[in-house]
Chain A
Amino acid sequence: MKDWNDRWSNINKYLDRSGPYTDPGFKPGEQVKSFLHEECKVLVIGAGGLGCELLKNLAMMGFKDIHVIDMDTIDVSNLNRQFLFRPEDINKSKAIAAAEFITKRVPGVKVTPYFGKIQDKDEEYYSQFKIIICGLDSVEARRWINATLVNLADMDYPETIKPLIDGGTEGFKGQARVILPGITACYECSLDMHTKPVSYPMCTIANTPRIPEHCIEYASVVEFPKAFPDRKVDTDSVEDLTWIYQCALNRANQFNIEGVTYQLTQGVVKHIIPSIASTNAIIAAACANEAFKIATNCTSYLNNYFMYMGDNGIYTHTFELDKKDNCPVCGFEQIQMTINPKLKLKDFIQMLMDKPNISIKKPSLATPSKALYMQAPKNLEMATRPNLEKTLDELVDESEEVVVTDPSLPISMHIGFTYSLDEKIVDDVVNA
């Protein structure tokens, strides 16, 4: 369809005029406008709190070919912020419902939904987009898309470098960042900036519970598996949560602990992050604003991190995050670790899982000459399992490089050891 009169009169102030802070390569006029409206295909990952805002913002900023991926369905608790959904949409696909709403509301904008996981798509799929914008609530998904886009980037072919704009919120706080894969700091470079999820030591929840969270955790990680050995907790099931709540309440009463409620049970078991419309709107608008500036080059864009804190005044911090030379995704250097050679391989693996800058779920380890421990396939896992009980110096020479991979992440980490008998051996915390 043809655009109506004055439709783009607002953004055209920037696209028809050059400015003092504009890149010298910027040429105002028809070319940049037609690129924005006709050619600049973008992908939004996540159609939740940030995703709904992002889709609205991108559509209103002149992007007309937008794709959106989300594997979730709409829940009643989404309605306080995910404004493209209505009560009658509950249980529908977020991606499909959001795409329908935008396509209907904003003429000439086509939103193509995919109801599924980002891991379902391959490099060729991601190659078709000019910019990818993430509104996710999961660290794992972010790491996956980040690593995928870094792998895709070939410095000799600029079109393979797909700018990744990532937003995240929690309560009154949030951040927006621009990642140019291979050029700027990537998501993995800053993995240790994230606060680790709260975890409770197993001995506390089992023997000396003190706060309601301890009772809930015990009910969900100890008593539930005992009662239902053949299945996991379904965190979306009211029955399961009610069972855990009752169980936690009994335990709390037994220990004279106050404060176990159904709401708290939900919060602890589902790891609920409080979320409100306004914070999502701030962060999504910041992300979409960068997308517009990157797509049109009409002015400089964020380099490369914007942090927002709204719980105490309006405080923001804009800064450049440094790329890490030993980043397992975008760096070239080994990660150096000083380690006790008498550490057992299984404890070393646990350490890798716990370390905030590594934090991988199912590590497989190998040296250039042999497999140390492989998660899959099954026969290799069986064959390498005895190594778990061996100490590092039995398996690896100090000069050898250990390569760590994870089947759920397209990354590989190169670790170099320095052996030292002074290093601590045990670090025994159970993750909640």
Chain B
Amino acid sequence: MKPEINKSMIYDRQLRLWGDQGQNSLETANICLLNATVSGTESLKNLILPGIGKFTIVDDKKVTGSDVGSNFFLTIDQIGQSRAKCVTELLKNLNEFVEADYLEKDPVFLINENDKFFSQFNVIIASNMQEKELIKLNKICSNENIILVSLKTNGLFGILRSYVPEHTIIDAHPENVTDYRLDRPFQGLIDYCKSFDFSEMTIVEHSHMPFIVILYQCLEEFKSKHDGKMPSSYSERNELKEIIKSLRLNNDEENFDEAEKSIFKACKPTIIPSQLKEMFCDIKCSNINENSSNFWIIINAFADFAERHNCLPHSGIIPDMKSDTEKYVELQNIYRKKFQEDFYEIRQKVNTTLAQINRPIESIKDEQIITMIKNGSDLRIIRYRTLEDEFINQPNVSLIAQSLNEEFNNMVYYLLFRAVDHFYETHYRYPGVDNDSLDNDLELLKKSVEVITSQYSIDYSLIPEEAMQEIVRAGMSEIHTVSSLVGALVSQEILKLVTCQYTPMNNTCIFNGIQTTTTSYDL
């Protein structure tokens, strides 16, 4: 008997990471893979399993014996058939909830002749494409607001590059965020903390008083001696510590331990993080119009809130702490009430904005606002540099030169990936493919390396000859483990980009399968 199964059972282990909101975003992902290479196929595998909406493979090649030898999603009886079709068939068996399609066309042709084709997708994975086409594809993605991740492998080496016109992180999942507001307590918190008198407590009550109450009262005492100012130096924090110590009944009071340990965090002034201040000054925040995204409409409401209160709305979250149940729950409710009030203010402002731009109030759901309030201090936007900027307009020469001087770096292989592309543009083949021309290819590759290094005005001798020999040896082979690893890095970046959760890499990552290292660069 086939047991009853549903999506939430299958997806349980991932829902614990990105929740229903993340899963819903993932299920709207419509992904296009250009070239069913091993790494491209592997990257799709890890996206089909967690349940994207749809994938389409574009590839005009026929399956070869070499393909079957290194691609798990091809079989020997498929040699000679369409690679797009065969890979699609085996991949779609991985998850019945995912739609699958393929197109037997050369991706280069589509990029050059039919760029409208790409507007149906929200993610493009470009595998093994040349710089020239990638630049064009990048322009299409920039106009159509599509996530583009390109990847390439060459033997034991791999590279991936992400591009999104504007990526917003709504839930970075940071660890240990605390926001006690003890430097600027709100009325509910003040009233609660003031309602206790430590001198009139039983020992049990005393040792179960939440450390926030302890800190509040000790801070009051401190401030009364310092013109109402919070501790701001090491010696002042020590003074506060002594006040806390003097309130102790004995050394076993864990709530007092917690209070002492939290001094530093509690004394840090409540601020608006710089990346939010930058967002508040962004033209997209100040100039809300019909085209504004939900994210910016909510940020606009945050800016409005910050102007009035000089802080962000409170998340309503406090950590577990030593306390009896009653007081912990009471304290939790005080912070939750604060969150409710702040949420109400943000919601009102969002509603006003929506009315101004003639959008229904339901177009921004409460959950979306709540998620952004809960992650307020970690909201971020990333505007990726375009490939045209990277390769032509404004190459990041200083970063490249500086990285080359570091002892263990993979920048050499970034330049070699570029040199191999230049080799291909020049000779219409890759270095090291043929056993008979290894020496000749090494000499030709050196010429390409010279061209690339001179573009950056970098000393050619910084590229070790051994690294070039190793690249010729690799011969553009698709080593399954490396393809699988680099493909999986791509999948993971796409998961983060699509769900707007966690922090994606910006913008290039190199994998070195000899040393088993990776390095990321903002190029």
Contact = CB atoms under 8 A, between A and B. Distances in A.
Interface of A: 4-11, 13-14, 16-21, 53, 56-57, 59-61, 76-77, 79-81, 83, 86-88, 90-91, 105-107, 171-172, 176, 207-211, 255-257, 263, 266-267, 272-279, 281-282, 284-286, 288-290, 292, 299-302, 306, 310-316, 318
B376 interface: no
B503 A281 contact: no
B187 interface: no
Contact of A286 (B325, B478, B516): B516
Given A79-B10, A105-B72, A310 B156 contact: no
Contact of A80 (B10, B65, B93): B10
A276 B487 CA distance: 14
Interface of B: 2-3, 5, 9-17, 42, 45-47, 49-51, 64-66, 68-72, 75-76, 79, 93-94, 155-156, 172-173, 208, 320-321, 323-325, 328-329, 432, 435, 438, 465-466, 469-470, 473-475, 477-482, 484-485, 487-489, 491-493, 495, 502-506, 509, 513-518, 520
A10 B70 CA distance: 7
Given A21-B514, A76-B3, A272-B16, A278 B495 contact: yes
Nearest to A10: B477
Given A21-B466, A286-B485, 7 more contacts: A4-B76, A77-B12, A77-B13, A255-B329, A285-B482, A289-B513, A289-B516
Given A6-B64, A7-B65, A312-B172, A277 B46 contact: yes
14 contacts: A4-B76, A59-B72, A76-B5, A83-B94, A87-B5, A106-B72, A172-B17, A263-B15, A275-B14, A281-B42, A281-B491, A299-B156, A314-B505, A314-B520
A318 B492 contact: no
Contacts of B432: 13
Nearest to A210: B328
A208 B75 CA distance: 60
A4 B63 CA distance: 13
Contact of B320 (A9, A61, A210): A210
B42 A90 contact: no
Given A288-B481, A314-B509, A276 B516 contact: no
The 3 closest A-B pairs by CB, nearest first: A281-B488, A20-B466, A285-B485
B2 A80 contact: no
Nearest to B508: A314
B505 A4 contact: no
B212 to A, nearest CB: 13
Nearest to A176: B516
Most chain A beta-carbon neighbours within 10 Å: one of B75, B94, B488: B488
A255 B156 CA distance: 58
B480 A61 contact: yes
A288 B64 CA distance: 24
A302 B465 CA distance: 23
Contact of B493 (A19, A292, A314): A314
B66 A9 contact: yes
B14 A274 contact: yes
Contacts of A53: 484
A284 B487 CA distance: 12
A313 B70 CA distance: 29
Contact of A105 (B75, B208, B518): B75
Contacts of B325: 208-210, 255-257
A19 B473 contact: yes
